[in-house]
Structure 1
């Protein structure tokens, strides 16, 4: 999986390079001290951009949303680990947020999961989520949360229904209600992956609750009606 790094401190780039060198699943393809320079060079083979918030002498928060809208996977790492900064970057579309004081383990896992379009919650981000009191977190019922949790454990909706002792139609209603609640607050989650990312971002579902298979949810399939299942 190809990685590009943007950091205004060459020393930080070298440190990241040494961490990546010990991980055979990740390959450092390019580095730059400036985001615009990196983008001008073209990065079609890059799976993830590891981006410092400081680039070219300024903060590049505005660029994060632009990159994510274009389909670029972005992992932010920064000295600024305030909850407001971390959550605003998640809302802009970043897959993960790392503090520069996080360990190599979190650094590598964030990149690996991002390259596979999966969210990752390191300690700094977990703290931001727990501290967040924003009103834009949906109020899911216990049954809605249970249905999501079981569904995210790679279970089919039929399996969730058997576990919860309800009909498959009821399970679908729980999941659809959760989607509706996210849409109402302006944070739509039309697919299973998107809904999982939202739930983890908001602390409604914790990765530890999902067991060893949780990081490898079954591929999203589209039914004849276009529903993500």
Structure 2
């Protein structure tokens, strides 16, 4: 599995390289590293399985860039010095697959990369703390839109055509929604279970399901 690291501190990038190299699973490879977001948009990191994104680059919070990357179908883990619950929730609301603080160490970071690359839940400590008081998953707008169209009895191919994206991206959005429900301990393996969860949480209204 491959990862693109976006961080403006070379010492952090080298630390991540070392942590990954020392991991006994030895299945993670960095394909791009540095502070240039264009490297993951159009450069060497554009095909990476996971993007590891520093939430603050050159003094600016990257929530907008995070949303853009998620909306384009990318799996993004936020790796940040910010530890407050408000920031963690904001990143999850923007669609981050996981949130790891820079104080949490190599095990949590590498675990998050491995699990996220395989569309499995990853809940590092800071993320778990932020989620304790909120048992609803944090779905990105595109994930919610894909779910609604899919619940309207559309095929994934039809959803892709409606949204102007690839069918594989639609599947990623739906799979990620399932993963995020798993992260809060509310698994939804079937389409019916996922629909019930979404209605229960007010993410989708029952009358929204009627095909238009």
Q: Same fold (TM over 0.5)?
A: yes
Deviation of 1:55 (Å): 2.0
Q: Do the aligned residues in 1 keep the contact of 2:39 with 2:45 (CA within 8 Å)? A: no
Q: Do the aligned residues in 1 keep the contact of 2:32 with 2:44 (CA within 8 Å)? A: no
Q: Deviations over 1:164-197 (max 9, x none)?
A: xxxxxxxxxxxxxxx9xxxxxxxxxx95652341
Check 1:87–1:195 CA distance in 2 against 1; reply closer, same or farther (3 A cut).
same
Task: Give matches, 1:106-145, under 5 Å.
Answer: 106-132=108-134, 137=136
Deviation of 1:117 (Å): 1.4
Structure with larger Rg: 1
Check 1:196–1:16 CA distance in 2 against 1; reply closer, same or farther (3 A cut).
closer
Specify which of 90, 104, 117 is matched with residue 102 of structure 1. 104
Matched residue, 2:180: 197
In the TM superposition, structure 1's runs of 4+ consecutive aligned residues that sit over 6 Å from their partners are: 220-223
Matched residue, 1:159: none
Unaligned runs of 5+ in 1: 139-178, 180-189, 211-216
Matched residue, 1:6: 6
Partner SS state of residue 46, structure 1: coil
Deviation of 1:56 (Å): 4.0
| Aligned equivalents of 1:196, 1:47: Cα separation in 2 | 16
Matched residue, 1:18: 18
| Aligned equivalents of 2:76, 2:185: Cα separation in 1 | 23
Q: Deviations over 1:25-57 (max 9, x none)?
A: 100111012323543425343100100012244
Matched residue, 2:70: 68
The reply on whether 1:30 has 2:13 as its aligned counterpart is no
Over aligned residues, Cα RMSD in angstroms? 3.0
Q: What TM-score do the two structures reach when normalised by structure 1? A: 0.60
Q: What TM-score do the two structures reach when normalised by structure 2? A: 0.65
Task: Give matches, 1:149-160, under 5 Å.
Answer: none
Q: Do the aligned residues in 2 keep the contact of 1:87 with 1:128 (CA within 8 Å)? A: yes
Unaligned runs of 5+ in 2: 138-150, 152-172, 196-212
Deviation of 1:69 (Å): 0.8
Check 1:116–1:196 CA distance in 2 against 1; reply closer, same or farther (3 A cut).
closer
